[in-house]
Amino acid sequence: MSALRTVCRRCTSRMDVIGFPGAVARALCVLGLFAGVILSGQQTSVSGQEAQIFESPRVYLAWAARDYHLGDLHHPIAVATSAAPANTATPAPTETGGPPPIATPPLCQTELDRRVFGRSIPLAEGLTVQQPGGRGWSTHLPMITAPVDDRVAWIGWSASGEVRYTPVLGLGRRAGADFVYPRGESTHGGVSMPGGGGAALIRHGRVMSLVRWDPEGLLMFDTELVGTSGRGADAKWIDDWPHEGRLVFDPSENVFAAYFGHTQNFGAGGDHQGDLLWLVDPWGNVLDEAARERSPHPSWDWGCSHSIDLRMVLHPRLGRLGTVCLSDSFPSPGFIFEQSLLINQEPSADGNGNVDALLGGLAPAEEGFALTYVSRVGRRSLDVALRRIYDEENDIGPPWWLTDTDDIDESSAHLARYGDDLLAGWTTGNSLQLAVVSQRGKILEGPVVVDATIAPRDDFVVYPNGDVGWSFARDARDALWSARVTLCRRPPALSLASEVENAAR
């Protein structure tokens, strides 16, 4: 009986993770067990070999506790059976009404550090995740996480001489074959596509391409955005100067937004580095000037310069793109919203690519966006600040400081929407810390140290069910790691302060 109860608890737990209601889960598990007994004619027991069918360790990433739990059942990616061919007329935008609402999450039953899980996905023999590092001023080898649904995400990463996008289940198993771009060096933004497949910004040599693949992993288009016209006057290309990038697909407007740094030749003015934001239709055609003017989204050929780092997100309710760059010179030294609005000036910027400050995370918030960054302006060390960018007239809120450590420099700030609040992350020393904060900068949970890492310029992402995730690789580089913070509602007593803040705003 003890073994039976254990198996039932494990089965019910797995079913609950998948999404079956508790009563239904218990009934299915009991029926399944008794059916197995009848068919096998054996006593109800689970051998170690049989139990391995369900094994895929889900690791608590709490620093002080590394408990292991059985994983979920394997589910394949749901893919569309067909895709529209490339190089066809662009369909008219359709009104989608925004993303589906997130189901009400359960009340929080555990502390923040017990809601952080990690799964490892071993790589095939001979493959290793290439070490992120510097090429010039740029993060050369980002890891991209692009959620498909509540359970599945594409993880984009660099192998030797190629870029791969691996479909991964939240339970730590592959959900299909990799999409492989054989001549890629690094990927600088990736998204899943409605109906299946995905798209990515991929650098190869001096070229930045926008690549899209269908649900079967077949290439739909490979549009070379820059790097194909030499290095003469007005030419644009990628080199060792910063080329951070982000990619967004807006299904309501049926358009990609590609935002990345590059180098341009200005004739007698010489070569200079800056960022561009271009809009591209679903079949890989860059929108012309007339189409760009009709779009509700911003676009430009030359933005911040030098564009040391950048972020971009789509606000799902407002249907608005938010962009932020860190500039050392133009239009002002500091953090810039949408090409022109100064969020915070950085006196350390010298116009030659050097600045003490670090760009953090950009996330949708009520009435606009929330941004984190690391700065020493007015501080004794590098601390993490949270700022709000309000949609109405682009008002910038005051800085709320999430850290106050006179003798410690924080770094690697990250941010994502987390239910009605925000999940903030930063690195102190070599430790990643997480905290749940209100949209007005009040720390509600944490900070806690977790046994995970994230590259300084990689992103937190939000799954459709509200969980927050990211990808990373440990020192051995022989596996992909997928980290996830499950969403829950704080009890009313803990939520009251946040509600009062929102009402006061």
Which CATH number do you get for residue 169? Answer: 2.130.10.10
Pair 50, 129 in one domain: no
Q: What is the mean pLDDT of residues 54-77?
A: 34
What is the average pLDDT score of the chain?
Answer: 81
In this prediction, residue 76 carries a pLDDT of: 28
Amino acid in position 371: L
Higher pLDDT, 91 or 488: 488
Last residue of a domain, one of 14, 31, 54: 54
Residues 49, 119, single domain; the answer is: no
- Asked whether residue 177 is assigned to any structural domain, the reply reads yes
pLDDT at residue 139, rounded to an integer: 59
Question: Do 297 and 430 reside in the same domain of the chain?
Answer: yes
Q: Is 313 among the domain residues?
A: yes
Same domain, 220 and 293: yes
Residue 217 lies in a domain: yes
Number of domains in the chain: 2
**Percent residues over pLDDT 70 in the chain:** 75
Q: Residue 230 above 70 pLDDT? A: yes
- Distances 225 to 108, 201, 210, 233 between C-alpha atoms, Å: 46, 9, 7, 17
d(CA 472, CA 453): 6
In a domain, 100, yes or no: no
What does the pLDDT read at residue 77? 27
Same-domain status, 427 and 280:
yes
Residues 43 and 146 placed together within one structural domain of the fold: no
Which tokens hold the place of 244?
């951070």
Indicate if the pLDDT at residue 384 is higher than 60: yes
Asked if residue 79 is part of any domain, the answer here is: no
Quote the pLDDT of residue 21.
42
Helices (H) and strands (E) in the chain, counts: 5, 33
Cis peptide, bond prior to residue 142, ω within 30 of zero? no
* 29 vs 147, higher pLDDT: 147
The answer to whether residue 59 is domain-embedded is no
- In a shared domain, residues 34 and 163: no
More confident residue, 105 or 322: 322
- Does 41 share its domain with 120? no
39 and 176 together in one domain: no
Domain end among 54, 81, 98: 54
The CA-to-CA distance between both ends of the chain, in Å, stands at 57
DSSP 8-class letter at 269: G
67 within some domain: no
166 and 38 co-located in one domain? no
Indicate whether 315 and 391 sit together in one domain: yes
pLDDT exceeds cutoff 70 at 249:
yes
Q: What percent of the chain has pLDDT over 90?
A: 66
- Kindly state whether residues 45 and 118 are assigned to the same domain: no
pLDDT band at 170 (very low <50, low <70, confident <90, very high): confident
Write the pLDDT tens digit of every residue in 436-457: 999 999 999 999 999 999 999 9
Residue 173's pLDDT band (cuts 50, 70, 90): confident
Q: What is the pLDDT of residue 31?
A: 56
Is residue 93 one of the residues assigned to a domain?
Answer: no
The model carries a pTM of 0.80
Size of the chain, expressed as the number of residues it contains = 505
Question: Which residues, in sequence order, are CB contacts of 204 under 8 Å at separation 6+?
Answer: 181, 183, 184, 185
Q: Which residues, including other chains, have CB under 8 Å from residue 346's CB and lie 6 or more apart?
A: 326, 333, 334, 335, 355, 356, 357, 375, 377
3-state secondary structure 64-127: CCCCEECCCCCCCCCCCCCCCCCCCCCCCCCCCCCCCCCCCCCECCCCHHHCEEEEEEECCCCC
Which range marks the domain in which residue 33 is found? Answer: 2-54
